[in-house]
């Protein structure tokens, strides 16, 4: 009986860890461009149009060594409307940009917020660590709420 308990706890602990690692992995693709500012082109994007998945616009650099671009693409979030100016960083070697600043930072870590919520269910149900689960759930909910609040401003 004790062996089964050990196997169950190990499996649930591994699943919770896997969810958190997957959340960080999914977030890092965008977050690295927001957080690591060395040698990144930074500027402002003026939104000229949006589809259901992304928005396009023109890019005006704010740093020397960067060049203006006639067309850049950003993933669509809830706040982009035609004519809005968004601070962005250009992904190296592409015409894709990511939002920078506080809203961009929080938006980049959205997958981690979802992973925290999912891991909290595993920790509560599989490991029976209710206080830890509440901590994970509150951290995930706070991240998701803060991201939503900053992107709608």
Q: How many CB atoms lie within 10 A of CB 63?
A: 11
**Residue carrying the six token digits 């067309």:** 71
Q: Residues 54, 99: contact at Cβ < 8 Å?
A: no
Closest CA to 56 of 27, 20, 88: 88
- Cβ-based burial of 152 (10 A; exposed 0-12, middle 13-18, buried ≥19): exposed
Per residue in 2-20, pLDDT (tens digit) is: 999 999 999 999 999 999 9
The pTM for the full model equals 0.87
Distance of CA 49 to the CA centre of its chain: 22
Per residue in 65-124, pLDDT (tens digit) is: 788 999 999 988 766 778 889 899 999 889 999 999 999 999 999 999 999 999 999 999
């Amino acid at each position: 009986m004790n062996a089964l308990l050990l196997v169950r706890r190990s499996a649930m602990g591994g699943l919770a860890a896997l969810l958190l690692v997957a959340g960080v992995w999914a977030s890092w693709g965008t977050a690295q461009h927001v957080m690591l500012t060395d040698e990144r082109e930074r500027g402002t994007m003026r939104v000229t149009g949006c589809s259901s998945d992304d928005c396009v616009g023109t890019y005006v650099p704010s740093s020397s060594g960067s060049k203006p671009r006639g067309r850049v693409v950003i993933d669509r979030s809830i706040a982009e409307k035609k004519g809005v100016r968004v601070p962005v960083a250009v992904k190296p070697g592409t015409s894709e940009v990511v939002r920078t600043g506080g809203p961009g930072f929080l938006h980049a870590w959205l997958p981690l917020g979802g992973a925290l919520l999912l891991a909290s269910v595993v920790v509560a149900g599989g490991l029976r660590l209710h206080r830890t689960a509440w901590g994970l759930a509150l951290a995930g909910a706070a991240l998701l709420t803060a991201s939503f609040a900053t992107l709608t401003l």
